[in-house]
Structure 1
Amino acid sequence: MSGQIPPSCRMSSSTSPASAISDSGDVPVPLGVVEDCLGILQLLSDGTVQRAVVPLVLPGTSAQTTSPVPWKDVAYDETRNLSLRMYVPSTDTGKKLPVLVYFHGGGFCVGSFAMPNVHDACLRLAAELPAVVLSVNYRLAPEHRLPAALDDVEALFSWLRGQAQAVSDAGPADFGRVFFSGDSAGANIAHHVAVRVGSGALDAGPVRIAGYVLLWPYFGGERRTASEAACPPDVFLTLALYDQMWRLALPAGASRDHPAANPFGPESPPLDGVELPPVLVAVGDRDMLLDRIVEYVARLKAAGKHVELVEFPGQGHGFSVFEPRGEAASGLLRVVRRFVHGPAPN
């Protein structure tokens, strides 16, 4: 779950009315706030949603002209108004760069590739891996409950297949080395991409997926883990926020054992026969989701998958997105670089 939430966010009144009319037609009935999530998303009693106006880094701003990596926004599904932000670093070697597809976090409810810290984190990934980074927006809940965000990858792959066929030998992107990544809810999406492609449910076409990079994946489950139960109240991702976001994101009436949340839930497909390329999982040891993530890695290994877990001491949920230029983010970048490019030569 990523995205530092500014304290001065104000709610937009354009998404829903402030009151409703009673059955008699003449008495205004104030709408109550059913859910208030982080002060930037409110679900009202009539089912409408209000969202805060938050700072965004948009094309044409000074950030674009001063960026060490050129970037632009590209629509990948115009019917749903879905876009991705493309970062293309320059290279003097003449060699093509791997492609890193990145899904932002936010509990499936908030977030955007244009939020300043998400933008900065992807700029750094593009420049220092280096790689062509495609930072992807997807539909958010509760307006579009799961599996909407997971289903958006169908349109994304249609766009990717078209790019891979059109680029051919031209351009810097190597669609034969594509890595899917994301933080928190974005890592959950990357997991589901892996399962869909590996089971044959999603056609990758000429796009060859070389690996998955899951940063503190946001998984759920009705059974509490020890790290969830012991979560302190003074961290960003608390148990209350975790429960609230799953309540807003999952289909109405669904539990946290829904397949979109729990990869090993009672209705989730078995992963034994799913072909997966190597998987890198990273998590801070102060993350509430630590035990659930460790169990995820153990069960993948038990199913014969090639998976690596890297824990970062003293770090909580979303550490490299909250501080994309911090020391821990630098350590994470070195781990991801090794995974994508291989060990540095001696």
Structure 2
Amino acid sequence: MSAETVPLPSITDPYEYLQISLNPDGTLTRRPNAYPRTSATPLSNISTEVLSKDIPISPEKNTWARIFLPKQALVDPMSANKLPLLVYFHGGGFILGSPDLTMFHEFCSNIASELPVMVLSATYRLSPEHRLPAAYDDGMEALHRIKTIQDDWLRDYADYTNCYLMGSSAGANLVYYVGLRAAQEIDNLFPLKIKGLILHQPFFGGVQRTESESRLVNDPFFPPCVSDLMWELSLPIGVDRDHKYCNPMGGGGSFTILEKIKRLGWRVLVTGCDGDQLIDRQIELMKMMEEKEIQVVGRFGVGGFHGFELVDSSKAKALHVVLKNFMLSSM
């Protein structure tokens, strides 16, 4: 029986659902064993198709990244052709998540193998200890760090001129805002050359409920009460869900920066499904970019739920095809 057919109860306590508790000082206690983790896969592991290792980004902020390299790149005589570089940011509503969580480790490993590409999955500081825009700052720092770090895998196998930014859920929100910043700092990112942004089930919101949010108000996988709590814990104190970080349709100056993305020729992929309460906001974002004449591609499926491709490898295979076609058409 698939996850989509298992009946689940309605969520009444989003804290319990997320397995977190709020402390008096405003920090979170996250249950350490709530989500399984996977260690990096070293060169000595001969049974895997993808190798991985961790590199530091900012020791002061305790941020780091996990690199995924298809083993075939090490043994293929044609490996002189470097791999596209996919910089990935995990989901978790800005309050949870890490590249070593098993769901994100396996998701990135499978992308690296199937496309094939080199994936660099970067951490960012979590809220509410570090509220937005801290995650966006860390995303930009990761891009600047990639171009300067002395790492043999990046040096030997990554094609810096063929770079894509991808994120899932909150990570896709991060990619959107980091993309806006990167478009303004493009000369400072050399030799990185960004070709496109991939927004995988992006996490956005607003004060006024959309039709899909109302329709899925009791969704057992990701109802609005859970996303509301995530925004409450991650947005700057004193603002509501119509702040630009949550609701890009509110303006806040990003519309003019989108013109820069248009001039750079970046392509944007937005994916989603109608079983996700966020689909209306995702489609709205895509249409807004279309109006700005950005080269945007939308891929929206029937059924599913928020994050389903992260937990169902058979569904992820269809996403791999979409990603491969998008990247090939951006070259």
* TM value normalised by structure 2: 0.86
8 Å CA contact retained: 1:104, 1:183: yes
Name 1:207's counterpart in structure 2. 192
304 and 116 in structure 1: CA distance in 2 versus 1, 3 angstrom threshold: same
Q: In structure 2, what is the Cα distance between the partners aligned to 1:143 and 1:63?
A: 37
State how far apart, in whole Å, the 1-side matches of 2:44 and 2:151 are: 29
Q: Secondary structure at the match of 2:48?
A: coil
Deviation at 1:199, TM superposition (A): 3.0
Q: Secondary structure at the match of 1:288?
A: coil
SS in 1 for 2:86: strand
The secondary structure found in structure 1 opposite 2:272 is strand
Q: Distance in 1 between matches of 2:179 and 2:16?
A: 29
Q: What is the aligned partner in structure 2 of residue 307 from structure 1?
A: 296
Look up the match of 2:8.
none
Alignment of 1:160-179 (within 5 A): 160-163=146-149, 171-179=156-164
Letter in 1 for 2:32: V
Within the candidate set 131, 139, 142, 2:117 is matched to: 131
Matches within 5 A, 1:282-297: 282-297=271-286
Give me the whole-angstrom Cα distance separating, in 2, the residues matched to 1:295 and 1:234: 21
Using the TM superposition, give the Cα deviation of residue 36 of structure 1 relative to its aligned residue in structure 2, in angstroms: 2.4
What letter corresponds to residue 274 of structure 1 in structure 2?
A: K
Aligned with 2:259: secondary structure?
A: coil
Verify the 8 A CA contact 1:108 1:185 in the aligned structure 2.
yes
Residue type of the alignment partner of 2:321 = R
Mapped contact 2:38–2:101 kept (Cα < 8 A): yes
Distance 1:64 1:39, change over 3 A: farther
Deviation of 1:60 (Å):
6.7
Q: Is the 8 A contact 1:35 1:44 kept in 2?
A: no
* One-letter identity of the residue aligned with 2:146: L
Which residue is 1:27 aligned to? none
Alpha-carbon distance in 1 for matches of 2:38, 2:182: 32
Tell me by how many angstroms 1:318 deviates.
0.8
Separation in 2, partners of 1:226, 1:64: 49
Question: 2:53 matched to which residue of 1?
Answer: 72
> How far has the Cα of 1:61 moved from its partner?
8.7
Matched, 1:141 2:127: yes
Question: 1:315-334, aligned counterparts within 5 Å?
Answer: 315-323=304-312, 325-326=313-314, 328-334=315-321
Counterpart in 2 of 1:196?
181
The 1:105–1:39 alpha-carbon spacing in structure 2 relative to 1, beyond 3 Å, is closer
Encode CA deviations 1:124-179: one digit per residue, 9 max, x unaligned. 0000010000011110011111111011123212212214x987995111000000
Q: Secondary structure at the match of 1:273?
A: helix
Query: What is the aligned length?
Result: 307
1:83-232 equivalences under 5 Å are 83-89=64-70, 90-91=72-73, 92=76, 93-94=78-79, 95-163=81-149, 171-200=156-185, 203-232=188-217
Aligned to 1:233: 218
2:267 is aligned, of 259, 278, 289, to: 278
User: For 1:6-63, what per-residue CA distance to the aligned partner results, in whole angstroms no more than 9, with x for missing partners?
Assistant: xxxxxxxxxxxxxxxxxxxxxxxxxxxx982534321123424211113211247999
Closer/same/farther in 2, CA of residues 37 and 111 from structure 1, 3 Å limit? farther
**Which residue type is aligned with residue 112 of structure 2?**
A
Amino acid of the structure 2 residue aligned with 1:71: S
Deviation at 1:315, TM superposition (A): 1.4
Instruction: Report the Cα offset of residue 206 of structure 1.
Output: 1.2
Amino acid at match of 2:145: W
For structure 1, the residue ranges without an aligned partner over 5 or more in a row are: 1-33
Percent identical residues: 34
Deviation string for 1:222-255 (max 9, x for gaps)?
2221111111424311010011110011111211
Per residue, is there more helix in 1 or in 2?
Answer: 2
Q: Is the 8 A contact 1:139 1:149 kept in 2?
A: yes
TM-score by length of 1: 0.82
1:199–1:273: 8 Å Cα contact kept in structure 2? Answer: no
Amino acid at match of 2:326: F
CA distance in 2, matches of 1:210, 1:298: 20
Query: What SS does the aligned partner of 1:308 have?
Result: strand
